[in-house]
A and B are shown apart, each in its own frame.
Chain A
Amino acid sequence: MNKIMYLEFERCIGCRSCQAACRECGDHDAKERNYVEYVDFMESRQTFPMLCMQCKDPACARVCPANAIQITEEGVVLSAMEEKCIGCRNCTFGCPFGIPKFDFEENKMYKCDMCYDRSKHDIAPMCASVCPSDAIRFIDFDEMQALRRKRTQMNLVEGKKPQEGNKWQYVPEFFGVYSD
């Protein structure tokens, strides 16, 4: 895989087609593994997509006692392996972003796997494919770098500066998040 996921929160229109599309991915059993949140509905309609950060050193995998969460050679953190998952839910507690969810009927964890059967062949994950506003994109690393630079320039032209909280320091390079 030569591409990365790039998020631009300002573009998110809150339509949740990423969630609807996530359910359509072949092995996702019609359960979405990404989420869309309001920043503060009382103030504005600003929403943002919440995807798995595919962490370099993923807490979910580190705390898994059964070693059920595999990391592919491209760095994608997969959903728990069915045969290994013991249903302890450590991963759901361990993730700082609240991504892994637990299926109580099946007694197993499920999380975003970046539509691995697609993305390993450079086909965009379902969420990035359908996102109507390009808030979620599946692009080359170089393209992401150029976009980040351009966005900063535009913000300077328009007199805006990205609001950054400390949490971006924890986002791995693998994940191109809107900030610079």
Chain B
Amino acid sequence: MSQYLVKEGVKNLVKPGEKLVTTHCCYCGMQCGMHIRVNEKSGKVVGVEPRYDWPVTKGKMCPKGVTAYQTVDHKERILKPLIKKNGKFVESSWEEALDVIESNYKRLQKEYGKDSLSVFGGVSMTNEKCYLVGKYARVALGTKYIDYNGRFCMSSAAGGALKTLGIDRGSTLPWTELEHSDCFFIAGSNTAECHPTSIQWFWKAKDKGAKLIVADPRETPTARVADVHLDLKPGTDSALANGILHLLIREGYVDNQYVSERCNNFEELKESVKHWTPQLTSEITGVDKDKIIKAAHIYGMSEKSVVMFARGAEQQSKGVDNVSLYTSMALLRGQIGKFASGVATFTGQGNGQGGREHGQKSDLLPGYRKITDPEAVKYISSVWGIDPKDMPGPGVSAYEMFDEIQNGNIRAMHVMCSNPAVSAPNVEYIWEGFKKLDFMVVSDFFLSETAEFADVVLPATSWAEDEGTTTNLEGRVIRIRKVCEPLGESKTDWEIMCAIAKRMGKEPHFSYKNAREIFEEFRIATKGGKADYYGITWERIDKEDGVFWPCPSEDHPGTPTMFKEKFGTPDGKANLPAVAWKEPGEIPSSKYPHILTTGRVVFHYLSGSQTRRVDFLMEQCPVPYTEMHPELASQYNLSNGDKVKLITPRSEMILDVKLTKAIRKDTVFVPYHWGKELSVNKLTNPSLDPTSRMPEFKVCAVKIEKV
């Protein structure tokens, strides 16, 4: 016997004795709408149902989304605080764990000053929690050392957008308009595997004749269906973009009126791309000249085009340059601020957009305010009820925090909702850093590879056990609903931060009763900032299927399309930066003759802390492997399934070989979702982008040895 839930003509199956709770997936920036099935009697999560009425994803889910609920009631959940005693974790009470934290924090603050403590945040949390992490570090602990895992994920996109457009909202258009576009230029994104539910929009447009151009060293499932696949050498995105810009100008595809009215620096850009002929572009990128010309013509002739990029272009030591140049393509064609056109980055983490706007970055305060701006400090201090003089200054980026640990400046770290022991580059250095810390706290709901280094592990709740808001990759603020009660003695991250703040004598600043109270304060904190959420309320989100920021007042409709009239720069005009070509931080040499690049597989999410615990996903992809072209493999006499040793200047590891012609002949690929000896990040290069401080995960030189 089945019953049906009907909303706007959409039927959903509801089994007797169960209810459906409407929420969103916990993983990537798509934040797919879904219903979670809950047993009414036991209150337990039992399954998932598609949510057909969510406009962005219409019931679509990837395998991670379908199985996301299985992590909630997982047998490996941490249910009580753990304290490390004689090298082993022992369960404790919350009081005991907080006692240990309090005494260690106070001791270190007394001996080494407040900046001896640090916080490493994450953006798989709600906006409320992300906002509170910034406040917790700066008010409760009084430290300048705070940064977050978005530094490994989103910061180059942010840097590029700020440089060109003045405001970092990942997408300038809503996803629901994509079906009306007639050309997509996707660079460095394996959308089909990393944001699978986006693919339906490309197909909707393709069915009407839209063209797809994909720039990627691998013929990914996304590139496979492209009209033009630009199989560029990893790390040469800025050369490719300069080459396309050259052709757009040379072939007369520039929207001159738009550029003269709305952009600065066109003449300098024109001068700098003058020498980027298809021949030169082809020599540097390794892409066939004709394909570059074809791509430029298709993009140049399309009327409603979208330039999209992701980590492939961003996770480089010149990621900001790459993003700026790709954005310039859209600006030259006059595509930003128009219907079904624009520029967008694919947000890797669930709240990668919202989480980077509200003060988790070492140099930012809520609402995308600069911490170096005295007015911003004054305003946020007034919201937080502190003296502006007590506001710590800017700290350092995520990877650089580990330099500070080595220097002895950082003595303790609280890691929240993040697993840098897997996701950081050059991870052996990160492991050394964790070992060197005097004291380390991790809040997580599984014992992640990072948590294993901790002195105290606090059991946090999963996404289904708390409520709040997140901001999806379009810039749409949406609602995460509480599906079930916290398991065991787990507490939400905001409760954990409030409990520690209380112990540090800062209770008046952290006296929240629920997530909603944090949201109300958060709205005020963002008011007047670039990322203005003030007009967004939970009721509006429910009623309007999410609200796009900026939304400065409750009667403001939100901003689905950005930059319709002006850009976020002081003079309202976009910048077209002229960018000189730079090699990646590490290029192949006689000692390390090939290129290593890393990425995701569809079955796992980031460091795999959650997805590696889901049976179905592990069955599909249990271990990492190295993908290489048969011609490269034949040089080393390798066959499918052979073992191979990859060696870079930092470390080495052994992997199985997977042969495919769907990759460049000079490049090997390894997915990065595993920890310890299976972590490819042992090999990756921590060379940082000068602006965004994003490490160069996507390119390093590698040597291959048959085992």
User: Bound complex: CA of A117 vs CA of B11, how far in Å?
Assistant: 13
Q: Assuming the A-B contacts A13-B221, A45-B662, A133-B200, are A121 and B65 also in contact, with contact meaning beta carbons closer than 8 angstroms in the complex?
A: no
Contact at B219–A17, with CB atoms within 8 Å? no
Q: Assuming the A-B contacts A15-B196, A45-B219, A150-B207, are A117 and B13 also in contact, with contact meaning beta carbons closer than 8 angstroms in the complex?
A: yes
Per-residue contact bits, chain B 64-100, to A (CB 8 Å; 1 contact, 0 not)? 0111000000000000000000000000000000000
Per-residue contact bits, chain A 2-23, to B (CB 8 Å; 1 contact, 0 not)? 0000000011011111011101
Contacting chain A: which of B54-62, B131-139, B292-300, B699-707? B54-62
Contact at B196–A132, with CB atoms within 8 Å? yes
Residues from 1 to 44 in B contacting A, C-beta threshold 8 Å? 2, 4, 11-13, 15
User: Bound complex: CA of A22 vs CA of B12, how far in Å?
Assistant: 16
Q: Assuming the A-B contacts A17-B62, A42-B640, A154-B209, are A132 and B197 also in contact, with contact meaning beta carbons closer than 8 angstroms in the complex?
A: yes
Residues from 112 to 163 in A contacting B, C-beta threshold 8 Å? 117-118, 121-124, 126, 129-134, 150, 154, 157
Residues from 156 to 210 in B contacting A, C-beta threshold 8 Å? 192-193, 196-200, 203, 207, 209
Residues from 13 to 52 in A contacting B, C-beta threshold 8 Å? 13-17, 19-21, 23-24, 26, 41-47
Quote the shortest CB–CB distance from B45 to chain A (angstroms).
Answer: 12
Contacts of B197 in A (CB 8 A): 132
* Number of residue pairs spanning A and B whose beta carbons lie under 8 angstroms apart: 114
Q: Looking across the interface, which residue of chain A has its beta carbon closest to that of B225?
A: A10
Quote the shortest CB–CB distance from A138 to chain B (angstroms).
Answer: 11
Contact at A17–B47, with CB atoms within 8 Å? no
Contact at A154–B207, with CB atoms within 8 Å? yes
Contacts of A117 in B (CB 8 A): 2, 13
Contact at A24–B221, with CB atoms within 8 Å? no
User: Bound complex: CA of A22 vs CA of B511, how far in Å?
Assistant: 45
Contact at B15–A130, with CB atoms within 8 Å? no
User: Bound complex: CA of A96 vs CA of B224, how far in Å?
Assistant: 29
Contact at B66–A21, with CB atoms within 8 Å? yes
Contacts of A21 in B (CB 8 A): 61, 66
Contact at B15–A133, with CB atoms within 8 Å? no
User: Bound complex: CA of A130 vs CA of B660, how far in Å?
Assistant: 28
Contacts of A134 in B (CB 8 A): 200, 203
Contact at A46–B61, with CB atoms within 8 Å? no
Selected contact of A17 from candidates B61, B630, B662, CB within 8 Å = B61
Contact at A15–B193, with CB atoms within 8 Å? yes
Contact at A42–B660, with CB atoms within 8 Å? yes
Q: Could you name 26 residue pairs across A and B whose Cβ atoms are closer than 8 Å?
A: A11-B225, A13-B199, A13-B222, A14-B192, A16-B602, A20-B66, A24-B48, A24-B66, A42-B640, A42-B661, A43-B660, A44-B224, A44-B660, A44-B661, A44-B662, A45-B219, A121-B2, A121-B11, A122-B11, A123-B4, A124-B50, A130-B60, A130-B62, A132-B60, A132-B196, A154-B209
Q: A42-B640, A132-B198 are in contact. List 6 more A-B contacts (CB 8 A).
A: A15-B192, A16-B620, A122-B11, A134-B203, A150-B207, A154-B209
